[in-house]
Amino acid sequence: MIYNKAIESMNLAQMQELQLERLKELVKRVYEKVPFYKKKFDRAGVKPENIQTLADISKLPFTTKGEMRETFPYGLLACSLDDVIEIHTSSGTTGTPVVAGYTENDRTLWSEVMARCLAMAGADKTDTLQNAYGYGLFTGGLGVHHGAGPLGTTIIPISSGNTQKQLQYMQDFKSTVLTCTPSYSLFMAEVANEMGLDFRDFDLKAGIFGAEPWSDNMRVEIEKKLNLKAYDIYGLTEIIGPGVSCECEEQNGLHINEDFFYPEIIDAETGEVLPEGEKGELVFTTLSREGTPLIRYRTRDITWLFRDNCSCGRTTVKMHRLLGRNDDMLIIKGVNVFPSQIENILMKIENTEPHYQIIIDRESTQLDNVELQVEVEENFFSDETKDLEIIRRKIHNEMKQQLGISLNIKLVEPKSIARSMGKARRVIDKRDLPKAGGK
Ligand code: DLL
């Protein structure tokens, strides 16, 4: 079911007309109401009346995460604090968090886009949705929660954690849709196995997973282990939280709610706007946000945009599932690699578990040493060392062949890598380097 057919199936010309109208209004509003933007626009020599076409957006300066931090907590508010009814912050583990303020209209907008996303994954009023994203300042829990309301879906606001109870309730309440991070879903599968439960006896039909990178082959693994269809959902606190985009039944690219979030792809080095189909950094302008509207916000997420004749009937632009983040890209002996590429290869290798970690260290020679730790199946770990050596070599050779990189592979015992109920920590960077792209 398409939740808002008039918008989601709109023809391109009409969509662009709507976007332009909203963009003009937005630019005028932030110029008048937010000194931060007025100063930036003045410095760039651009006035609201200079925005006459959608392409004119490239005249506007970018906004960065660094600027959001510098203006903490309320420097980017475009409305009175009295009109803010909800606040969220990014889940960043270091530094000052970024703050998103929502007015009542923003929350309605959030419910709308999240309802569209849940519907994309097939949810409706007949479903029972177990929401195992964390509730709190993180946008995952409440974002999904806001979207279930307008759809009439029964929501179980269980939050993350308490995994045995999750699984018990999943059976008791006959949950049909699960929402959580992909890594948490795999942990659930593991705990279910320990409890002697079989997902074929559950009622789950769909999982809506996001908030962290995951690969296509990880999807295959999750679908097999949890006996459901797994959909990718994307979003970030700064823009709204979950609900920026989601996969439909085609599972081929995520439809962006582009009437509210205007996407661009730029060359991360030069800032130049790239045409559809080209890979680069994703940038969003929040066309209708009132609390903390953002102009050309650099997400640091890497993907590309495309339009296809999607069989679902939606015409909105799609983004390919994320390749990774600018700041997560590894440079291994001169080759650029995203952790998700390593994951994708790993997931196809037999006798390993879908749990891994990448440890980066720098030797005195200034060369990065990258170790890939991978869990192997229980029976293999206790087996002969020569079997382990075969698996180790296989992983090494596949990485070499497919990515052109040589990694140190370390096979580790099952369940020895820390499990996550939220965002998994896949990369441990022990180098003492200044963070790239700090702004
Ligand atoms: O993670 C919002 C969210 C909650 C999205 C629940 C989906 C589901 P933040 O904590 O601000 O917000 O983190 C945003 O997480 O810039 C991406 O780098 C990453 N991310 C989010 N969704 C995906 C995804 C939420 N589907 C940052 N695939 C973003 C890969 C994702 N990475």
Q: What is the pLDDT of residue 165?
A: 98
How does pLDDT run across 54-100, given as a tens digit for each residue? 999 999 999 999 999 999 999 999 999 999 999 999 866 667 899 99
Average pLDDT over residues 275-281: 98
> Looking at ligand 1, which residue's alpha carbon is closest to its atom 12?
236
How does pLDDT run across 224-258, given as a tens digit for each residue? 999 999 999 999 999 999 999 999 999 999 999 99
Pocket test residue of 135, 231, 301, 341 for ligand 1, highest count of atoms within 8 A of CB: 301
How far does the centroid of ligand 1 lie from the alpha carbon of residue 423, in Å? 9
Residues above pLDDT 70, as percent of the chain? 96
Q: What is the pLDDT of residue 383?
A: 64
Q: Is 50 exceeded by the pLDDT of residue 437?
A: no
Q: What is the pLDDT of residue 92?
A: 63
> Looking at ligand 1, which residue's alpha carbon is closest to its atom 27?
236
How does pLDDT run across 158-175, given as a tens digit for each residue? 999 999 999 999 999 999
State which ligand 1 atom lies nearest to the alpha carbon of 301.
18
State which ligand 1 atom lies nearest to the alpha carbon of 244.
5
How far does the centroid of ligand 1 lie from the alpha carbon of residue 349, in Å? 27
Dist CA 127 CA 368 (whole Å): 49
Average pLDDT over residues 307-332: 94
Q: Where are the domains of the chain?
A: 1-327, 329-429
How does pLDDT run across 107-166, given as a tens digit for each residue? 999 999 999 999 999 999 999 999 999 999 999 999 999 999 999 999 999 999 999 999
Domain 1-327, CATH number (from 3.40.50.1970, 3.55.40.20, 3.40.50.12780, 1.10.300.10): 3.40.50.12780
How far does the centroid of ligand 1 lie from the alpha carbon of residue 253, in Å? 15
Given CATH 3.40.109.10, say whether it is the number of domain 329-429: no
Pocket test residue of 116, 135, 234, 283 for ligand 1, highest count of atoms within 8 A of CB: 234
How far does the centroid of ligand 1 lie from the alpha carbon of residue 224, in Å? 23
Pocket test residue of 209, 236, 341 for ligand 1, highest count of atoms within 8 A of CB: 236
The mean pLDDT of the chain is: 94
* Lowest-confidence segment of 200-204, 237-241, 375-379, 414-418 by average pLDDT: 375-379
Q: What is the pLDDT of residue 365?
A: 65
Domains 1-327 and 329-429 share a fold: no
